[in-house]
């Protein structure tokens, strides 16, 4: 994926980049009077004065002259000025040097375009007069020299203050200081770029003035100057008095409640047993509780019965099915050809069995990364069938297992991160010795380690790079050692700064709807977590547990923070990042389909799978084609490593499907289905209503619901002409209608 093409970068939710681009667009032409205009007598540095001005003005943004290909109308600049040497060539020498006029600087094409004296698609970028305009004129007048080799090197950028508590509705001015290798520090506030990581919480002006909105929580402003970034972290307190907090059951509660206390956001109370059981069953096993589970849970007087319920769910095969469904989507287990069926089934099964056996996460990832052999003998090699190119491999591994998006660094220095192209290609070097041998099955290779020195070439510099981990050196790898094993060693090291953090954040999001870092696979210094203490504690717990995924799920779900009610109080209704209440979520497509099947006592039949297979156990994306339900409710096609490929938003098509689709109707009318059975049953109306509520919502009906239900069952049914219809048919229709109504309630549609 080429980050210089905005559409490609935006495809899978690269929020940060989207914001960056919009921020660049919002810049107005320079008219400020506080910038450091250069006097004629002071030498102007191309690297440290000119390029930052071009960046601030947006000239070298991805949609302007740094556009992939040939820039804009043949004038090409490096993205955000990351390659000043190339920019100099482009400005001064390309097109036979016509862009500058040393004899008459103001007549330079560069300035006449930028000030819109000549038609310019980008409009006015530099007002004349302005300090910035003068700086450019002076640089040209001084001979438009290139100081790429000699300019003072930018060492760091500091934002002041770097953190603060700022009340809702108030403001904070930021100041940006640049430090150089051999010259005094400079205030570069006017030429720095600012970017809020949550515009709903804080807006920042081009001049660095941060304006808080009304939402409480944590917000960060990324500050970029040339290739350096810095972050301002703001805490926005609500400031409400907190009289009581739920008891803390573990370190998760310690961190969540401490944060709420600092922010002054009173949490909702603990949810009731019925809500808990339904919630945790849906979140861990992807299904509503079974009759046996409900009965046993409600009958239990044990003080630890919630914990026992969690343990039971973690032992269930549905836990493995549900999480295998999650993982195989991100690992791109997709069927492009009918012959893919074997590889897709075995790969899904490998993930599912690993989860069932609670294989340590680091071991699982190791088996995948360094997979060798054949599909049947070693199913993780299927990943190398799906993800064939080293470029794809490095990007998927970084995003999925490390929470680092490396795509941008393939072509240029990462705009929001410290990663350079050398970092990208050094990381990809781990995958350069993956050998392939053909098998009898077309499209399937045997994967092996090809002896040789692992190295990748930076396509821009031509430098040949040995494997290096992100921000970490790796000891020399002998030619007969598989570099992927060394990568796996590095990843599973307890000191790895990404690996455990990425998975605990991903799992946190699974249970809380929002990651501590959001998006969950974009962990970087410039996108800080909303609760760093909690993220650190989870990371520590996970490593200490031996990368135990079930233990991670248990510590999260057994916390009172997870068990808070979804009902907001008068203070926390606006809170969407501090976990002061449970954030309801629409059931995902497969879970929803299974829940409807459970409620209607019907089963959805899937090709090549035994009758009774639940939708959460489907091995690949091919089943979406035959199921409009799965498609309309957003089941992913397993094309992306990003979980955002799953569509969780609501749509008119979903509503229409629930109202009128054939498959819903046929489930309601299933012979010997629940409606049919209840219609024929001798049970009392009350018992029937109770059964329906129990299955649909895992709770007893309230008195008003019970009465309304009983009344509904007693209503006479007439045909279009107003004549009473056959009692047996009427009875069936009544129960079909009632179940249909329950399916369409928010309580059923959502995990809450």
Give the gyration radius of the chain's Cα atoms.
30
> Applying CB under 8 A, does 546 fall inside the site for other proteins?
no
**Tokens (6 digits) for 510:** 């699974």
Q: Which of 176, 371, 503, 664 binds other proteins (CB under 8 A)?
A: 371
Stated length of the chain? 752
Helix axes 499-512, 549-557, angle to 10 degrees: 40
Question: How many degrees, rounded to 5, is the angle at CA 37 between CA 65 and CA 413?
Answer: 35
Using CB atoms within 10 Å of the CB of residue 648, give its burial: 0 to 12 exposed, 13 to 18 middle, 19+ buried. Answer: middle
How near is the Cβ of 355 to other proteins at its closest, in Å?
11
Two tokens at 171?
A: 């403001």
Give, in degrees to the nearest 5, the angle at Cα 125 between 123 and 127. 110
Instruction: Give the Cα separation of 451 and 433 in Å (integer).
Output: 7
x/- map, 107-136, other proteins, by CB under 8 A? ------------------------------
The one segment of 3-11, 316-324, 386-394, 678-686 that binds other proteins by CB under 8 A: 316-324
Selected binder of other proteins within 92, 270, 485, 710 (CB under 8 A): 485
Cβ-based neighbours of 741, under 8 Å, separated by 6 or more: none
Residue position matching structure tokens 């930076």 = 458
Give the binding range for other proteins (CB under 8 A) out of 90-98, 294-302, 378-386, 728-736. 378-386
Q: How far is the CB of 371 from other proteins (least distance, A)?
A: 7
Residue closer to other proteins by CB (options 244, 292) is 292
Q: Does residue 296 belong to the site contacting other proteins (CB under 8 A)?
A: no
**In this chain, which stretch among 166-174, 300-308, 508-516, 604-612 interacts with other proteins, using CB under 8 A?**
604-612
Q: How far is the CB of 399 from other proteins (least distance, A)?
A: 22
Question: Please, what's the b/e burial string for 365-404 (b: 16 or more CB within 10 A of its CB; e: otherwise)?
Answer: bbbbbbbbebbeebbbbbbbbbbeebbbbbbbbbbbbbbb
Site string for other proteins, 558-597 (x = CB under 8 A): ----------------------------------------
Nearer to other proteins, 287 or 484 (CB): 484
**DSSP secondary structure letter of residue 246:** P
- Least separation in angstroms between residue 666's CB and other proteins is 20
Nearer to other proteins, 420 or 441 (CB): 441
Q: How far is CA 541 from CA 250, 319, 461, 499, in A?
A: 11, 21, 42, 13
Count Cβ neighbours within 10 Å for each residue of 93-124 and write b for 16 or more, e otherwise: ebeeeebbbeeebeebbbbbbbbbeeeeebeb
Among 38, 61, 372, 602, binds other proteins (CB under 8 A): 372
By CB under 8 A, tell whether 544 contacts other proteins.
no
Q: Is 608 in the site for other proteins (CB under 8 A)?
A: yes
Instruction: Single out the residue of 253, 195, 200 nearest to residue 525, CA to CA.
Output: 195
CB count in 10 Å sphere of residue 476 = 10
Q: Which of 167, 300, 378, 551 binds other proteins (CB under 8 A)?
A: 378
Give the binding range for other proteins (CB under 8 A) out of 481-489, 512-520, 625-633, 741-749.
481-489
Cα 240 to Cα 237, 307, 447, 569, 577, distances in angstroms: 8, 32, 59, 12, 17
| Angstrom distance (rounded) from CA 522 to CA 506 | 10
Token couple for 417: 């991160």
CA distances in angstroms from 251 to 303, 487, 531, 532, 734, listed in the order given: 20, 31, 13, 13, 50
278/484 with CB nearer other proteins: 484
52 versus 312: smaller Cβ distance to other proteins: 312
Which one of residues 181, 495, 570, 611 is an interface residue with other proteins (CB under 8 A)? 611
Residue 377 contacts other proteins per CB under 8 A: yes
- 463 lines the binding site for other proteins (CB under 8 A): no
CB of 305 to other proteins, least distance (A): 19
Cis peptide before 129 (omega within 30 of 0): yes
Residue 286 or 519 with smaller CB distance to other proteins: 286
Residue 475 contacts other proteins per CB under 8 A: no
Between 45 and 372, CB nearer to other proteins: 372
Nearer to other proteins, 215 or 617 (CB): 617
State the binding string over 332-351 for other proteins (x if CB under 8 A, else -).
------x--xx--xx--xx-
Question: Judged by CB, which is closer to other proteins: 580, or 638?
Answer: 638
Residues 6+ apart with CB under 8 A from 412: 3, 4, 78, 79, 80, 82, 83, 421
134 phi/psi in degrees, rounded to 5: -60, -40
Q: Is the peptide bond before 519 cis (omega within 30 degrees of 0)?
A: yes
**Residue 370 interacts with other proteins (CB under 8 A): yes or no:** yes
- Could you tell me the smallest distance in angstroms from the CB atom of residue 320 to other proteins? 8
Q: Which residues ranging from 137 to 166 are in contact with other proteins (CB under 8 A)?
A: none
Select 203 or 449, whichever has its Cβ closest to other proteins: 449
Interactions with other proteins, residue window 217-246 (CB under 8 A) = none
How many residues bind other proteins (CB under 8 A)? The answer is: 44
Report, in Å, the least distance between residue 310 CB and other proteins. 16
Subset of 411-450 contacting other proteins (CB under 8 A): 435, 437-438, 440-442, 446, 448-449
Specify the stretch interacting with other proteins by CB under 8 A; choose among 10-18, 62-70, 353-361, 576-584: 353-361
Using left for φ > 0, alpha for ψ between -120 and 50, and beta otherwise, residue 461 falls in alpha
Q: Are 574 and 215 in contact (CB under 8 A)?
A: yes
Residue 626 touching other proteins (CB under 8 A): no
Which residue in 376, 464, 473, 476 binds other proteins (CB under 8 A)?
Answer: 376
| Candidate list 76, 113, 335, 366; residue touching other proteins; CB under 8 A | 366
Q: List contacts with other proteins (CB under 8 A).
A: 315-317, 320, 338, 341-342, 345-346, 349-350, 353, 356-357, 366-367, 370-374, 376-380, 435, 437-438, 440-442, 446, 448-449, 451, 480, 482, 484-485, 608-611
């Amino acid at each position: 994926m080429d980050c210089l093409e905005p559409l490609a970068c935006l495809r899978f939710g690269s929020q940060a980049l989207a914001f960056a681009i919009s921020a660049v667009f919002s810049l107005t032409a320079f008219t400020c009077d506080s910038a450091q205009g250069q006097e004629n007598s002071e030498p102007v540095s191309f690297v440290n004065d000119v390029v930052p001005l071009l960046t601030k003005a947006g000239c070298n943004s991805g949609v302007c002259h740094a556009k992939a290909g040939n820039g804009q109308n043949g004038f090409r600049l490096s993205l955000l000025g990351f390659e000043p040497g190339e920019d100099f060539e482009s400005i001064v020498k390309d097109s036979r040097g016509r862009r500058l006029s040393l004899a008459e600087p103001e007549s330079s094409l560069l300035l006449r375009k930028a000030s819109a004296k000549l038609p310019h698609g980008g409009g006015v970028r530099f007002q004349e007069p302005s300090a910035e305009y003068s700086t450019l004129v002076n640089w040209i007048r001084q001979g438009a020299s290139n100081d790429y080799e000699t300019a003072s090197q930018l060492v760091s950028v500091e934002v002041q203050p770097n953190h603060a508590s700022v009340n809702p509705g108030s403001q904070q001015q930021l100041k940006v200081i640049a430090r150089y290798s051999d010259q005094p520090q400079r205030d570069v506030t006017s030429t720095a770029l600012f970017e809020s990581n949550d515009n709903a919480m804080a807006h920042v002006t081009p001049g660095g003035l941060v304006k808080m909105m009304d939402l409480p929580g944590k917000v960060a402003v990324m500050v970029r100057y040339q290739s350096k970034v810095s972050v301002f972290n703001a805490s926005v307190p609500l400031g409400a008095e907190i009289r009581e907090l739920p008891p803390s059951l573990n370190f998760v509660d310690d961190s969540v409640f401490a944060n709420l206390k600092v922010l002054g956001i009173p949490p909702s109370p603990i949810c009731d047993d019925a809500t808990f059981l339904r919630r945790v069953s849906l979140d861990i096993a992807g299904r509503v509780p079974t009759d046996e589970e409900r009965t046993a849970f409600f009958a239990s007087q044990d003080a630890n019965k919630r914990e026992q319920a969690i343990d039971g769910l973690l032992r269930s095969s549905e836990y493995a099915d549900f999480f295998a469904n999650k993982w195989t989507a991100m690992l791109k287990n997709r069927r492009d050809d009918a012959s893919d069926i074997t590889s897709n089934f075995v790969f899904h099964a490998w993930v599912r069995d690993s989860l069932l056996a609670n294989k340590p996460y680091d071991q699982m990832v190791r088996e995948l990364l360094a997979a060798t052999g054949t599909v049947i003998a070693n199913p993780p090699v299927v990943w190398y069938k799906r993800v064939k190119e080293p470029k794809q491999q490095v990007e998927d591994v970084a995003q999925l297992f490390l929470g680092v998006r490396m795509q941008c660094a393939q072509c240029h220095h990462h705009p929001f991160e410290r990663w350079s192209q050398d970092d990208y290609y050094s990381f990809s070097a781990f995958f350069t010795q993956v050998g392939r041998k053909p098998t009898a099955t077309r499209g399937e290779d045997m994967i092996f380690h090809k002896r040789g020195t692992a190295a990748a070439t930076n396509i821009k510099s031509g430098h040949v790079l040995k494997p290096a981990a992100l921000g970490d050196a790796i000891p020399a790898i002998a030619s007969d050692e598989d570099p992927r094993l060394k990568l796996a060693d590095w990843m599973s090291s307890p000191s790895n700064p990404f690996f455990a953090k990425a998975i605990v954040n991903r799992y946190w999001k699974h249970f809380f709807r929002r990651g501590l870092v959001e998006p969950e696979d974009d962990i970087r210094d410039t996108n800080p977590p909303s609760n760093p203490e909690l993220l650190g504690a989870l990371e520590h717990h996970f490593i200490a547990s031996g990368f135990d995924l079930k233990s991670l799920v248990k510590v999260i779900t057994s916390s009172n923070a997870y068990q808070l009610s979804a009902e907001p109080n008068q203070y926390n209704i606006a809170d969407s990042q501090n976990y002061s209440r449970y954030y309801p979520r629409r059931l995902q497509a497969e879970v929803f389909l299974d829940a409807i099947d459970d409620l209607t006592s019907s089963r959805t039949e899937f090709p090549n799978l035994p009758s009774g297979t639940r939708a959460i156990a489907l091995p690949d994306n091919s089943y979406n084609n035959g199921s409009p339900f799965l498609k309309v409710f957003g089941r992913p096609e397993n094309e992306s490593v990003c979980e955002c490929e799953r569509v969780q938003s609501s749509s008119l098509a979903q509503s229409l499907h629930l109202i009128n689709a054939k498959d819903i109707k046929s489930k309601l009318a299933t012979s010997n289905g629940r409606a049919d059975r209840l219609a024929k049953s001798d049970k009392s109306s009350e018992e029937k209503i109770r059964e329906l509520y129990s299955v649909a919502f895992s709770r007893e009906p309230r008195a008003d619901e019970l009465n309304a239900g009983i009344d509904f069952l007693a209503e006479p049914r007439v045909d279009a002409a107003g004549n009473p219809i056959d009692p047996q048919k009427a009875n069936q229709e009544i129960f079909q209608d009632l179940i249909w109504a329950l399916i369409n309630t928010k309580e059923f549609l959502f995990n809450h």
